[in-house]
Amino acid sequence: MEILAQAEYSQLAGTIVSGLSLGTIYALLAMGFVIIFKATQVVNFAHGALATLGAFITAGVAVELNFPGRFLDLPPLLGWSISVVTALVLSALMGILLERVFLRPMVGEDLFSVAIVTLGMNVILMTIVTDYIGPDPRSMADPWGDASVDLGFVIIAHTEIAQFLVAAALVVLVGVFFRSRTGIAMRATAFDQEAARAQGVNVGAIFAIAWAIGAVLATVGGIFGSVYPRRIGVFPDTAFLVFRAFPAIILGGLDSVKGAVVGGLSVGLAEAAAGSYLNHPLFGTGFSGIVPYLVMMIVLFIRPYGIFGTAEVRRV
Amino acid sequence: MLEVSNLEVVYKDVVLVLRGVSLEAPERSIVALLGANGAGKTTTARAITGLLDVHEGDVTKGSIRFAGRDITRMLPSERVRMGISQVMEGRRIFAEMTVDENLAAGAYINRDRNASRKSYDRVMALFPTLADRRTQVAGYMSGGEQQVLAIARALMQSPKLVILDEPSLGLAPRLVELIAEVIVEINRQGTAVLLIEQNAHMALSIANHGYVMENGKVVMEGVAEKLLADEDVQEFYLGLRAGERKSFREVKHYKRRKRWLS
């Protein structure tokens, strides 16, 4: 009896850990998406491509370019962190470039037309990624590998610990950013573009910053979605992660950063819980994959604008 | 300081809204710009601050000069840096943010923290009501307080010229008085004011000079007291006319008599 209870306890703890680790990835992707949507009114359907391309760039910097490893002999964690930061800078530049080239000309256009442009962007980016990645996944070359710590009642992978720390740090950073001069200007722009311009805010620069932040968050999400225990590297279908982050975005409210975090974590937990507890034959295998959408539907029945969303936000 | 000459503005390439507007706002003055709905007052303000493009408007003729420089094609942010601030019609405060954050957004162009701090202190001294509500979410404040906040936000930019677009709109008479006092005080501290108003009585009672617009043109201008005493201004903008009430048909009849339109 005692042993059985302990097994159940350990299964619960395991579910929570994997749910949170999945959830933080969703939360990172959702946060980037929401920041882009809030600041620029663009529903970014290319977010999955951003995540994939970002992870791919990371693999390129860390493995192909072997930067900074080819110049310096650093401890693995430090070396890899430098590679990742380099890749994040490149991703940010990529976000800025995409905004400038594809979306700036669409300023003032219908929300829907702009969304279609991002769909086209998605096709272009995914084509680039699949052509270059080919059928084989690219390893992230992260220093943790499949190492894990056994806490007795639950086993946590080193990557998951890193993921929790990084995600928490990024959430705090985003919170701090929104209280800074630029962050306040971004919120002002999100609320009323014309009034923000009347205060001397350069709205174009704000758009660029929003895309840079969105791309960076997507890349971090993409990286953690491509390491142990989830994957052995970037596949082109890393982009599908965002399909499951989408319920998290809708659930939290399309325009709420807080909602993105809460939504991401709850969708992750629900998915993990379904995976480990709903094993009745009636549900079949892979039922956990549709749980995010079920949760989203139930929440939308009760709160059509999401948990933290503003009521008058436009629907797509 | 501000010279608008012969300004022509077209919306969406076809709608001619301003047909050669000229006006001037000297340093340290209060200039009133009066007129009915659709006369082109707000469009004039947008042309001066550079916010026409959002509304698909474009300056097709004429020029706007400020402090000796031609600013007709300048970016809005550069104009704010040069010292032109606008309090937009309908207040347009950032309702989801707190009072302090609204003011911080107003001080955006100020990279220098000390300078921001200074204008913040000045604004708080000027508007004690805001000092009590620094952490309140702006959208929950009353209309008068929101208008005061909108003016305070513009003052955070330490402007040389403030354009106020219908600051009395939707406010109770007592609050209109308060806003008028605020405007006089701002002006006393050295900022020129271009006051766009439908409340001609309030505007002319505090202004030095006034312009009357109609159908995209300035149809009348003069010293404020003179305008206030003018028969037509009294009749059409102040609603004063000794004696009898008029039916709408008679109003039309009188409209034809406006001297400046003949």
Q: What's the domain range around A41? A: 6-243
In contact, B48 and B42? CB cutoff 8 Å: no
Q: Mind listing the pLDDT tens digit of every residue in chain B (262 residues)?
A: 899 999 999 999 999 999 999 999 999 999 999 988 888 999 999 999 999 988 899 999 999 999 999 999 999 999 999 999 999 998 899 998 999 999 999 999 988 888 889 999 999 999 998 998 999 999 999 888 999 999 999 999 999 999 999 999 888 999 999 999 999 999 999 999 999 998 888 999 999 999 999 889 998 899 998 888 887 787 777 766 655 555 555 555 445 455 555 4
pLDDT of A300 = 86
Residue A180 exposure: Cα atoms within 13 Å on the Cβ side: 10
Report yes or no on A236 lying in a domain: yes
From the list B49, B93, B108, the residue facing A185 with the nearest CB is B108
Residue labelled with tokens 């797509």: A316
Q: Return d(Cα A262, Cα A251) in angstroms, integer.
A: 9
pLDDT digits over A166-189, tens only?
A: 999 999 999 999 999 999 999 999
Cβ contacts (< 8 Å) between B104 and chain A: which residues? 181, 184
pLDDT of A315 = 43
**Chain A residue closest in CA terms to B163:** A198
CB contact under 8 A, B108 and A108: no
DSSP letters of B14-50? TEEEEEEEEEEE-TT-EEEEEE-TTSSHHHHHHHHHT
Residue in A199, A209, A310 to test binding to B, most B beta-carbons within 10 Å:
A199
In contact, B123 and B155? CB cutoff 8 Å: yes
In contact, A271 and A292? CB cutoff 8 Å: yes
CB contact under 8 A, B105 and A184: yes
More confident residue, B236 or A200: A200
Mean pLDDT of A257-264: 92
Task: Give B70's strand partners.
Answer: B65
More confident residue, A314 or A219: A219
Cβ contacts (< 8 Å) between B94 and chain A: which residues? 187-188, 191-192, 195
Residue in B101, B112, B137 to test binding to A, most A beta-carbons within 10 Å:
B101
3-class DSSP assignment, residue B70: strand
CB contact under 8 A, B104 and A198: no
Rg (CA), chain B: 19
3-class DSSP assignment, residue B253: helix
pLDDT digits over A209-236, tens only?
A: 999 999 999 999 999 999 888 888 888 8
Those residues of chain B whose CB sits closer than 8 Å to some CB in chain A are 49, 51, 54, 75-77, 80-81, 85-86, 88, 92-97, 101, 104-106, 108-109, 111, 153, 157
The b/e string for A199-236 (b: 16+ C-beta within 10 A; e otherwise) is bbbbbeebbbbbbbbbbbbbbbbbbbbbbbebbebbbb
Strands B57-66 and B2-11: what pairing?
Answer: antiparallel
DSSP letters of A184-251? HHHHHHHH-HHHHHHTT--HHHHHHHHHHHHHHHHHHHHHHTTSTTT-SSB-GGGGHHHHHHHHHHHH
From the list B54, B75, B80, the residue facing A199 with the nearest CB is B80
Residue A60, both tokens: 């390129």
From the list B49, B96, B97, the residue facing A198 with the nearest CB is B49
The Cα-based distances of A303 to A80, A270, A292, A309, A312 in angstroms read 43, 18, 16, 9, 13
Report yes or no on A110 lying in a domain: yes
From the list B77, B92, B96, the residue facing A200 with the nearest CB is B77
pLDDT digits over A39-86, tens only?
A: 998 999 999 999 999 999 999 999 888 888 888 888 888 999 999 999
Closest CA to B108 of A187, A210, A212: A187
pLDDT digits over A285-300, tens only?
A: 778 888 889 888 888 8
Residue A315, both tokens: 């629907």
Cβ contacts (< 8 Å) between B54 and chain A: which residues? 108, 193-194, 197
Report yes or no on A263 lying in a domain: no
pLDDT digits over A19-38, tens only?
A: 999 999 999 999 999 999 99
CB contact under 8 A, B108 and A194: no
CB contact under 8 A, A200 and B153: no
The Cα-based distances of A157 to A228, A230, A233 in angstroms read 8, 11, 16
From the list B88, B97, B108, the residue facing A200 with the nearest CB is B108
Q: Return d(Cα B81, Cα B228) in angstroms, integer.
A: 35
Report yes or no on A94 lying in a domain: yes
Report yes or no on A297 lying in a domain: no
CB contact under 8 A, A199 and B109: yes
Task: Tell the burial category of B189 from Cβ atoms under 10 Å away from its Cβ (0-12, 13-18, 19+).
Answer: exposed
Residue labelled with tokens 């929570």: A16
**Chain B residue closest in CA terms to A178:** B101
- The whole model's pTM is what? 0.88
**Chain B residue closest in CA terms to A191:** B94
To the nearest whole Å, the CA of B201 is away from the closest chain A CA by: 28
Considering its fold, how many domains does chain A have in total? 1
pLDDT of B253 = 47
Report yes or no on A234 lying in a domain: yes
Q: Return d(Cα B179, Cα B165) in angstroms, integer.
A: 12
Report yes or no on A166 lying in a domain: yes
- Please work out, in degrees rounded to the nearest 5, the angle formed at the alpha carbon of residue B83 by the alpha carbons of B78 and B84: 85
**Chain B residue closest in CA terms to A201:** B77
Residue B246 one-letter amino acid: K
CB contact under 8 A, A199 and B106: yes
Report yes or no on A163 lying in a domain: yes
Cβ contacts (< 8 Å) between B111 and chain A: which residues? 181
The b/e string for B83-117 (b: 16+ C-beta within 10 A; e otherwise) is bbbbbbbebbbbebbbbbbbbbbbbbbbeeeeebe
Residue A178, both tokens: 């929104």
Residue in A182, A184, A202, A255 to test binding to B, most B beta-carbons within 10 Å:
A184
Confidence of residue A316 (pLDDT cuts 50, 70, 90): very low
**Quick one: DSSP state of residue A153?**
S
Q: Return d(Cα A76, Cα B5) in angstroms, integer.
A: 68
Whether the CA torsion A257, A259, A265, A271 is positive or negative: it is negative
H or E stretch at B241: none
How many Cβ atoms are within 10 Å of A28's Cβ, its own excluded? 31
Closest CA to B88 of A316, A192, A66, A77: A192
- Domains plus CATH for chain B? 2-83+159-261 (3.40.50.300)
